Amino acid sequence: MKSFLKKYLSFIYTNKETAQNADSLNTSSGSKDSDEINNNIVEEVNQPFVFQSAVQEEEGYEAFARYLSLRIICKADLDSFSEEAFYVRETLDDTKTILVLDYPSSIEHVLRTNAAAWEKSEDELFERALKNIQETYHRVVVPYEGHPQAGMLTLTGNDAFKTSAILYLEEYPALQGTHGALVALPDKDTFICKTIEDDISLEVGMQFLVHFTDETYHNSESRISRQIYWYLNGEFIVIPYSIGLERMNYVLPFDLEDRLF
């Protein structure tokens, strides 16, 4: 969890120099000078990070608005932190959607204390962030490489925001079959989808996705969710599944059963 804190919550260290100082203190002999530096570090950690715009001439909300974005993260990632400190929503079961600043060389979580001066509502911030994603990342539906026989689809891009496409999936008609689609995002690098045209396409999709999603999730260092979702008309419903020694099982939502059988 310390690595998560260092990686994503940049308000702990305001710059690389401070971080290096802090690391060097871990091996210091405890001298007077080291104690003074330690005290300075403690004071620095106790103070909230103040955002510095990448465009130095600008100040206020507009200096940051262009960088606002949304990431889908594992629900457990925030277990050790107070959600009230961030802008967080639960758009998809078992995940969190968090407001971030997508800088060219880093990604930083937006703290409510820092954004208070912007005088923008949470809805306004999320709307602007979603607009930025749609305008910045132009994706195309393509076959999922390596598994052509299963008919899996994904979206182009190797960035950290590919999975955020679930927030506007209706913009990709090719990912929506007659009866919706199966969707999985086991980690931040994987967005995979199977359109549902009939009971056969459903069975093919589940046979592949159950093992693929579970394995990818457990082997990844950047997990999001091991759930498989049924997507239709803007709504996501979890399809529970289990993997036994000899077979796997899953339970379809009643509405999906009614459509297929």
Residue with tokens 């749609």: 134
Report whether 236 contacts 229 (CB < 8 A). Answer: yes
Element (DSSP H or E) covering residue 129? helix 122-136
Residue 49, pLDDT score: 52
Residue 35, pLDDT score: 52
Residue with tokens 């639960």: 90
Rounded CA separation 129/175 (Å)? 23
User: 143 pairs with which residues across the strands?
Assistant: 153
User: Within 13 Å of residue 38, how many CA atoms lie on the same side as its CB?
Assistant: 11
User: 248 pairs with which residues across the strands?
Assistant: 243
Rounded CA separation 121/200 (Å)? 46
In this prediction, the residues of the chain whose per-residue pLDDT falls under 70 are 1-59, 147-149
Question: 153-155 and 107-109: which strand pairing?
Answer: unpaired
Reported pTM: 0.77
Rounded CA separation 162/239 (Å)? 22
Rounded CA separation 185/188 (Å)? 7
Residue 60, pLDDT score: 83
Residue with tokens 């913009």: 171
Phi, psi for 35 (deg, rounded to 5) = -60, -40
Residue 59, pLDDT score: 66
Determine how many CB atoms are found less than 10 A away from the CB of residue 161. 21
Gyration radius of the chain's alpha carbons: 22
Report whether 105 contacts 181 (CB < 8 A). Answer: no
Contacts of 122 (CB under 8 A, 6+ apart): 87
Report whether 97 contacts 107 (CB < 8 A). Answer: no
Residue 148, pLDDT score: 64
DSSP 3-state of 115 = helix
Burial class (CB in 10 A: 0-12, 13-18, 19+), 100: buried
Q: How far apart are the first and last CA of the chain?
A: 46
